[in-house]
Structure 1
Amino acid sequence: MKGSIYPAMFITASLLFFYQAQAQTTATTKQNDVSEVVVSGQQNPSDWFRAESQHFIVYSDTKQKHVSQLLNKLERFDYLLRLYAKANAPTKAEPKLTLYYQSRVRDLKKIVKDQPAYTIGFYNSCAQGVQAFATHMYYGTNPDVSLEKQPENEGLSYIFEAYARHFLYRHTEIRTPNWYIDGFAKYFANTRFSDSETVLGIPPQSIRDYLLYLSSGNNYYSLNYKDILLDNESKGHNVAGEAGVRLEFQAKAWALTHYILSSSENIQHFDAYNKLVAAGLEQTKAFEQSFGFPVKKLGNHLWKYKRKSAEGLKLNLTAGAEQEIQFSSLPISANKLMLADAAIKSCPTRALGQELLQNIMSEAKKYPTSDYAQTILSRAQINWGDAKSTIPYLTSVAKGDNAEAFYLLGNAQLRIANERQGDEQKNYLKSAQDNFLKASNLNSSFAEAFYGCFQTGLRLQDTPSKETLSAAIKARTLAPEVSGYLRAAALSHAYLKELSETQATLDLMARNKRDPQMAEWANIWQAKLNTGVTRAALITEMHQEVQPDTRFTEWTLASDSVMQEVQRSAEMAAVTDFITEQRVQQIQSQRADTSGLIR
């Protein structure tokens, strides 16, 4: 059950970027001003439909009303983060994020079967693309209650948390520390918008409850602030298991991040801290040197801060401009094929990929004339079945402005080329390259198509051309959260002797502790480049493909449910401890009585 907001103090003032942004004019946006346009329909529509706004494409089986409300808030949230996080300058053609907004949390298992406990959503980034998955949760508002006193919209908080975390990976160079990434995500998770105001910095209910749980003297926890600074987010112990440790980490990360973002002075201290850590100083020593007090006093310092100064921020700011949302219905085959296709694009394991292929083949044969179903079948065959079988269909639809068809046809031809030799292989590679080029020309934000141009050019040329290497760099620019693109870009920069860009890309990978496989690779290549590497060695490494199921996944856990488990388990543990203590006292008493009789 939702309690009162903590703390109850709010300010209408400036913080961080707002000192510089006060002079900016912000267009007014009202929720009921959002345009809804159905651009196409189906005679037998699916439960699923498509919605598109300036920065997002949403597929959902909920209701258009729910998606309209979600996109309105997400666009305003994106606008706020771009101001606040000092995001990288947007590319000329920025890819839109694809979000699957599902009505049932259990359907997340159709995408990735092996998930952490309490998963409520996740982001998946791999060579097949970047996708987000979230679950709709019912939420009602009371217009008579002020914005800051409204109860938390739990489902929206999870979506905001996930997007804020992902935003750092896509639009900034921030990859560490993990506690700041999580603290930043939680800081913005409970952001609220009205027609004319924005409120941010309120702790989500689970964070508030966990901090109260800790301050009540409960002993069922294991992380101190040294653990937080050292990014120990999973090695502790908690009555709610690993999810409980993660919640504890995030609660303390929220408190520390809120403190840092509370003043320009603290932000300067944090900048100094990051520079010291980057220079090799151990995190706790860097903190003490930057902030001027011992880490052992940090917990008490933040406790006092939360009581006196940890305020939510209320701003007379309407984030973002008026948005138009375009809705379109999908054919009935989407009911069973939508999530199967999303799973294929998530770079699944071989076992799941083969299973998905069989399921898609069984369903798609019911709709032989449906371009929607046959396109999904083609993608599945290219990745996990018979790529050659897709050529006739894809050739027939790769026309006009159908960028996806050109891309898939290029992928099929690349897959076939990998199984051929000599002139036959070269012909397939040339055809694949042509189709990847057509796809990227039609859609200049198509990161996967640019990566395809790099792959085919690399196979066709003994010495990779600048155009081939530039395609890898373009893919990395469009989707920097995809590890495979970063790897190809780092090697391409190195080959082109662009040393600063090489170092920056490898450093970005090495600092991402949540992708340890690629972080290790980046560290190895940083060392190699420092001692000198030939261009021949770089070409050899470019040809070494990463594992096809390599992906970077950002998990979002249902922290309210985790907090409930923490409270329940702590109560049970306390009862168990009490009963054990009573039994010990009873045994000791009986022994004392027996000892008296013997005497």
Structure 2
Amino acid sequence: MSGMKLARVAMAATALLLLAVSPARADWLRAESDRFVIYSDGDERTLRVYVQKLETFDRVLRLFMGLPMEEAPPRKLPIYLIGNQRDLVHVLPGAVQNQTGVYIPAEQDIFAVATRSRNDDSTLLHEYAHHFMFQNFNFPYPAWFVEGFAEYYAATNIQTGRVEVGLPNEQAVGWLQHGQWMEMEDLLAGRALNASGDRFNATYYPLAWLLMHWFMGDEERRASMQAYLLDVGSGGDPVEALQTHTGLTTRDLRAALRSYMRERISITRVNYVFPTVPVTVERLPPSANDLLLVNQQLKVVQGDDHDALVAQIRTLSARHPGDPFAQLVLGRAEIMFGDPQQGEATLTALLQQQPDHVEALQLLALARMDGASEHPDGYDVAMNEMRGFLQRAYQADDANYFTFLLIAQNRIGEPGYPSDNDLLAWELAYTIAPQLGQARFGLAQALMAHDRNAEAVTLLQPLANNAHNPQIAEVARTLIARAEAGLNSSDEAATAWDDEALEATDSFDPE
């Protein structure tokens, strides 16, 4: 055999070896049901099982909360299922080691990312429980209850024909058995961070779970929890309210929780036939393999090395010339962090293929808003073009919260703001995306301007109990105090918070 033939044989053998140890990445699939849009680069069967499980979980929560079983939210939640924790950094570069999922209520998208697991879906169920609570209950729950609710229902075992709620959380039990419990007064009052304010107390989540489980484990305690929550929601002191409605001091509560943990924790078995829901599955184009997750990273807008991110996206999108999704991601990257003119040209080319592409229209409107502020001479022209893009986006999708958010934000500071139409835009953004801090703050401000301060307080109270973002919580408490004092947007004291509030709500703490 000649040397050239030997070389070709060796190259072929090497290629086969590489294929054997490095299988090609599976294409991304997109599944859609009544309440979810789920993306996965795993197999279709596993994806369909996930969709059914989440649809059942939503109905379990509805059953326990007394909500209509078949009611669907105005917006489906996108979820990205990834193969391992390493893929999470493609969305959230600052993800901590061993983090298995994240829920992100960002301005451009509200979505979750979770690792696929055959045996443990608790992270994904925890995140959806948060999403569900904010979607359906505008009530100032204490911070421990918000986390305890999510932890309690995350330990739900969903099998065909059988659902078990409130399973033991072995990890939480381990922390509580071997860790130093935080003070019960701090737990009840929502003081979850340590003295320096940089991290949670290690037993905060476990204690929130245990307290929720203790309340749920007995019919009489469940009734006392309802009374306690109503008391705290009406402004009662969370520590005093506990003793009022349970008869226990914080010392007694600690002892009761330790005793409950040593007993056999009660599990609720649901005897209910949950329906199988229709699910459609489609295979995404090859561009999704390169760009799907990094597109979500652009929406999160975290990290400092934006130049490297844009350069990466330019390289990846070049692999897919003329592909609509690649054009969208490149256009987003250029407008946000790169060359805005190139971004506009890319998105304009996309609109030539798909004139009703909502995200492209929104991004072009966003570019016009930014450009108008930088070039005051062309302000009126830019604003008219922006309104045109948003009008087209609304006509293409009349239930997209980001369109309403852009319409409302664009009017801030304009003559006559906030008009009745401005108030309507904020109300629509909030109704579709109540999980979004920007929507709550914006609507609260508009309500205060219309002397509807009590409604503004109701909107802001859940944010005031935010244990993850002290900055947002502090701004919310300040606004609540001003609303309760009867101030409206015509008062100088009431308008002083605008910039601070908007800056605070541009940030978030991923769960």
| Aligned counterpart for 1:428 among listed residues 379, 382, 398 | 382
Secondary structure of 1:553's counterpart equals: coil
Compare 542-551 and 516-525 and name the one that shifted more.
542-551
1:99-130 CA deviation, whole Å, 9 max, x = no partner?
A: 11111211212222333453211111121221
Letter in 2 for 1:221: Q
Provide the residue aligned with 2:136 in structure 1: 171
Letter in 1 for 2:137: T
Distance 1:355 1:414, change over 3 A: same
Secondary structure of 2:114's counterpart equals: strand
Letter in 2 for 1:267: R
Question: Residues of 1 paired with 2:161 and 2:83: CA distance?
Answer: 30
Distance 1:97 1:414, change over 3 A: same
Q: Is the 8 A contact 2:31 2:37 kept in 1?
A: yes
> Offset of 1:205 from its aligned partner?
2.9
Within the alignment, does 1:223 sit opposite 2:177 as a pair? no
Provide the residue aligned with 1:484 in structure 2: 438
> Offset of 1:554 from its aligned partner?
3.8
Please list, as runs of the form range in 1=range in 2, the aligned pairs for 1:233-244 lying within 5 A after superposition.
Answer: 233-235=192-194
Provide the residue aligned with 1:124 in structure 2: 104
Letter in 2 for 1:477: T
* Unaligned stretches of 5+ residues in structure 1: 1-43, 140-152, 556-599
Q: Is the 8 A contact 1:161 1:189 kept in 2?
A: yes
| Aligned counterpart for 2:161 among listed residues 193, 196, 202 | 196
Question: Residues of 1 paired with 2:193 and 2:457: CA distance?
Answer: 30
Question: Residues of 2 paired with 1:304 and 1:191: CA distance?
Answer: 23
Q: Is the 8 A contact 2:40 2:81 kept in 1?
A: yes
| Aligned counterpart for 1:160 among listed residues 125, 146, 152 | 125
Question: Residues of 2 paired with 1:131 and 1:70: CA distance?
Answer: 16
Letter in 1 for 2:333: A
| Aligned counterpart for 2:325 among listed residues 356, 372, 376 | 372
> Offset of 1:534 from its aligned partner?
4.3
Letter in 2 for 1:254: W
* Unaligned stretches of 5+ residues in structure 2: 1-23
> Offset of 1:377 from its aligned partner?
0.6
| Aligned counterpart for 2:311 among listed residues 353, 358, 366 | 358
Distance 1:394 1:100, change over 3 A: same
Question: Residues of 1 paired with 2:215 and 2:504: CA distance?
Answer: 40
Within the alignment, does 1:449 sit opposite 2:403 as a pair? yes
Q: Is the 8 A contact 1:379 1:408 kept in 2?
A: yes
Q: Is the 8 A contact 2:190 2:467 kept in 1?
A: no
Distance 1:186 1:513, change over 3 A: closer
Letter in 2 for 1:417: A
> Offset of 1:279 from its aligned partner?
5.5
Question: Residues of 2 paired with 1:472 and 1:465: CA distance?
Answer: 11
Provide the residue aligned with 2:357 in structure 1: 402
Within the alignment, does 1:416 sit opposite 2:371 as a pair? yes
Q: Is the 8 A contact 2:26 2:42 kept in 1?
A: no
> Offset of 1:134 from its aligned partner?
0.5
Question: Residues of 2 paired with 1:231 and 1:322: CA distance?
Answer: 39
Within the alignment, does 1:293 sit opposite 2:248 as a pair? yes
Q: Is the 8 A contact 1:347 1:550 kept in 2?
A: no
| Aligned counterpart for 1:265 among listed residues 204, 216, 220 | 220
Structure label with greater radius of gyration: 1
> Offset of 1:459 from its aligned partner?
6.0
> Offset of 1:235 from its aligned partner?
2.8
Provide the residue aligned with 1:77 in structure 2: 57
Q: Is the 8 A contact 2:78 2:111 kept in 1?
A: yes
1:386-441 CA deviation, whole Å, 9 max, x = no partner?
A: 3232333433443554222322222222222222214x211211221222232233
Distance 1:326 1:279, change over 3 A: closer
Distance 1:460 1:433, change over 3 A: farther
* TM-score between both structures, scaled by the size of structure 2: 0.85
Q: Is the 8 A contact 1:48 1:62 kept in 2?
A: yes
Question: Residues of 2 paired with 1:184 and 1:265: CA distance?
Answer: 18
Secondary structure of 1:202's counterpart equals: coil
Distance 1:101 1:391, change over 3 A: same
Question: Residues of 1 paired with 2:396 and 2:210: CA distance?
Answer: 46
Question: Residues of 2 paired with 1:236 and 1:84: CA distance?
Answer: 37
| Aligned counterpart for 2:272 among listed residues 307, 317, 331 | 317
Letter in 2 for 1:200: V
Q: Is the 8 A contact 1:473 1:492 kept in 2?
A: no
> Offset of 1:317 from its aligned partner?
1.0
RMSD after superposition: 3.1
> Offset of 1:258 from its aligned partner?
1.5
Provide the residue aligned with 2:78 in structure 1: 98
Q: Is the 8 A contact 2:350 2:360 kept in 1?
A: yes
* TM-score between both structures, scaled by the size of structure 1: 0.73
Letter in 1 for 2:508: F
Secondary structure of 1:339's counterpart equals: helix
Please list, as runs of the form range in 1=range in 2, the aligned pairs for 1:478-557 lying within 5 A after superposition.
Answer: 478-529=432-483, 530=485, 532-535=487-490, 537=492, 546-547=502-503, 550-555=506-511
Question: Residues of 2 paired with 1:471 and 1:45: CA distance?
Answer: 43
> Offset of 1:206 from its aligned partner?
1.7
1:353-384 CA deviation, whole Å, 9 max, x = no partner?
A: 33322211222233231111111011111211
Compare 109-118 and 376-385 and name the one that shifted more.
109-118
Question: Residues of 2 paired with 1:485 and 1:395: CA distance?
Answer: 28
Q: Is the 8 A contact 1:45 1:330 kept in 2?
A: no
Q: Percent identity?
A: 24
| Aligned counterpart for 1:66 among listed residues 21, 46, 62 | 46
> Offset of 1:498 from its aligned partner?
2.4
Distance 1:458 1:82, change over 3 A: same
- Number of corresponding residues: 483
Letter in 2 for 1:513: A
Question: Residues of 1 paired with 2:471 and 2:283: CA distance?
Answer: 40
Question: Residues of 1 paired with 2:263 and 2:390: CA distance?
Answer: 58
| Aligned counterpart for 1:283 among listed residues 226, 233, 238 | 238
Provide the residue aligned with 2:172 in structure 1: 207
Q: Is the 8 A contact 2:448 2:488 kept in 1?
A: no
Q: Is the 8 A contact 2:37 2:78 kept in 1?
A: yes
| Aligned counterpart for 1:115 among listed residues 71, 77, 95 | 95
1:78-99 CA deviation, whole Å, 9 max, x = no partner?
A: 1111232356999986111111
